[in-house]
Chain A
Amino acid sequence: MATTSQSFPRLPADIDAYARERVVPLSEVVPVGRAISVLDLVGKTPLLEIARLTAGLIPADVRIFAKLEGFNPGGSVKDRPAKKMLEVGIAEGKLKPGKVILDSTSGNTGIALAMLGATLGYPVELVMPSNVSRERKKIVEAYGAKIHYSDPMEGSDGAIVMCRKLIAQDPARYFKPDQYNNEANAQAHFETTGPEIWRQTHGEVTHFVAAIGTGGTVMGTGRFLKSKNNAVKVIAVEPDDAMHGLEGLKHMASSIVPGIYHEKELDDKIQVGTEEAYEMVYALGQTEGILVGQSSGAAMIAALKVARSIREGTIVTVFCDFGDKYLSTNLWIGWQEWRHERLQQVIAKWNNK
């Protein structure tokens, strides 16, 4: 890398003073010390400034930060809603000993439920299309959960339908967190993700950009940030076509719209192409030293578009998970063609958009 400190004009020489003045001490946001359950380790994730990749691409008074949700114990943002949905279920008496936790999920929520079910002592069963990544299936099984496979041709909606059928066969047996329609999903973000971002940016956040899977992150976090400052713009990110390769994301126009998703609360919606999101994943690895999943690539593409459309502001986006779960997926097909020269070409392309 032909980079020098001059490539990063925003990092001042006196980094310690800068940190004292601007950054919330890690000890305040990252859990330290002991925990008695992985439940206690959910949330409090770090916020990383994406300054290297964006150098020269965005106005000097615009900054982009990414909430690194891969630091959750289950490895994704989904630990937050999963924890909240189980807590509410227990508090309302709907989840109690003898019940089985069952839901449809293509991955990260399933991992979170399997992990939390293990620590809470509840059996977990998950319905997922058989084309989800191999790593995800193995992780879920490692936590002791059982998988029901639905038809890959029917996508996540096929898993939703199959899950409904399983419950109809024996309704008393199951507790369904129902992430698509459970307001506790969005509430988890209202109570944790939103306040963390507010504190980590010292209330300076002006734009919140998040990809939509269930809509929980963008709804809950957006509501909190607007409750603190109604001028904060809340922007959702979705695939640009029904046929896409952004695992975890929903193309709303062609999907069963989640009950917790209320588009009227959004200020804007940005559509992202699969290929550009994949390229962003590669670029983030090579410039920021952070390997994320494809939904993070999509979120970052959208954040970059927002950054290039404003003169000043603090944009926060969410990197839902890290990339190690996707190494066996199509994300890395053709990776051999990717070289540093290609990175420069892609950055130049973003600069011309």
Chain B
Amino acid sequence: MAVRVRVPTPLRRFTAGVDEVPADGASIKAVIEDLERRHPGMRERLLDEKGDIRRFVNIYLNGDDIRFLDAINSKVKDGDDISIVPAIAGGH
């Protein structure tokens, strides 16, 4: 499944500054693995050592927080929009 992933500023050092990148995969988990192949370093920022999404990372699938879907196993379709959003903004 070909999807588009919106990348937040703190992760753009892995995407050569690009704010939206293509990725493939049938689930969020597979998409993250594909992102890691294309942009090494991404997975560690998104997943903890147990393979769960880090608590301060929010991932939206077509606008819905995947924590309220099937979390990391949420199914992905062709053309889906995925956004990675840090839980916070930084700077008081």
A interface vs B, CB < 8 Å?
76, 78, 104-109, 128-129, 131-132, 152-160, 179-180, 213-214, 241-251, 254-255, 274-275, 278, 320, 329-331, 333-334
Contact of B90 among A76, A155, A333 (CB under 8 A): A155
Query: Contact: B13 with A330, CB < 8 Å?
Result: no
Q: A213-B90, A248-B92, A254-B9 are in contact. List 16 more A-B contacts (CB 8 A).
A: A76-B92, A106-B91, A109-B92, A132-B89, A152-B8, A152-B85, A153-B7, A180-B91, A243-B8, A243-B86, A246-B90, A248-B90, A254-B10, A274-B55, A330-B55, A333-B67
- The yes or no answer to B27 lying at the interface (CB within 8 A) is no
Number of interface residues of B (CB under 8 A): 25
Query: Contact: A255 with B91, CB < 8 Å?
Result: yes
Residues of A within 8 A of B10 (CB): 155, 241-244, 251, 254
With A105-B91, A108-B92, A251-B90: A157-B85 Cβ-Cβ less than 8 Å: no
Query: Contact: A245 with B88, CB < 8 Å?
Result: yes
CA distance A280 to B50 in the complex (A): 20
CA distance A242 to B13 in the complex (A): 9
Residues of B within 8 A of A275 (CB): 48, 54-55
With A245-B86, A278-B55: A153-B6 Cβ-Cβ less than 8 Å: yes
Residues of A within 8 A of B85 (CB): 131, 152-153
CA distance A88 to B13 in the complex (A): 39
Closest CB-CB distance, A245 to chain B, in whole Å?
A: 2
Which 4 A/B pairs are nearest by Cβ-Cβ distance? A245-B56, A156-B91, A242-B10, A213-B92
Q: Mark B46-63, 1 if CB is under 8 A from A, else 0.
A: 001000001111100000
Residues of A within 8 A of B67 (CB): 333
CA distance A105 to B91 in the complex (A): 7
Residues of A within 8 A of B54 (CB): 245, 274-275
Residues of B within 8 A of A243 (CB): 8, 10-11, 45, 57, 86
Can you list 23 A-B pairs, Cβ within 8 angstroms, ordered by A? A78-B92, A105-B91, A105-B92, A106-B90, A106-B92, A108-B92, A131-B58, A155-B90, A157-B91, A160-B91, A180-B91, A213-B90, A214-B91, A242-B13, A244-B10, A244-B86, A246-B88, A247-B88, A247-B89, A250-B90, A254-B10, A329-B87, A333-B67
CA distance A72 to B11 in the complex (A): 35
CA distance A213 to B91 in the complex (A): 5
With A155-B8, A155-B9, A330-B58: A249-B87 Cβ-Cβ less than 8 Å: no
Closest CB-CB distance, B54 to chain A, in whole Å?
A: 7
Residues of A within 8 A of B13 (CB): 242, 254
Residues of A within 8 A of B57 (CB): 243, 245
- The yes or no answer to B80 lying at the interface (CB within 8 A) is no
Query: Contact: A156 with B90, CB < 8 Å?
Result: yes
Residues of A within 8 A of B78 (CB): none
Residues of B within 8 A of A274 (CB): 54-56
CA distance A62 to B4 in the complex (A): 52
Contact of B83 among A129, A153, A244 (CB under 8 A): A153
CA distance A109 to B90 in the complex (A): 12
With A241-B45, A245-B55, A333-B55: A158-B91 Cβ-Cβ less than 8 Å: no
CA distance A262 to B86 in the complex (A): 27
Residues of B within 8 A of A158 (CB): 9
Contact of A153 among B9, B56, B87, B90 (CB under 8 A): B9
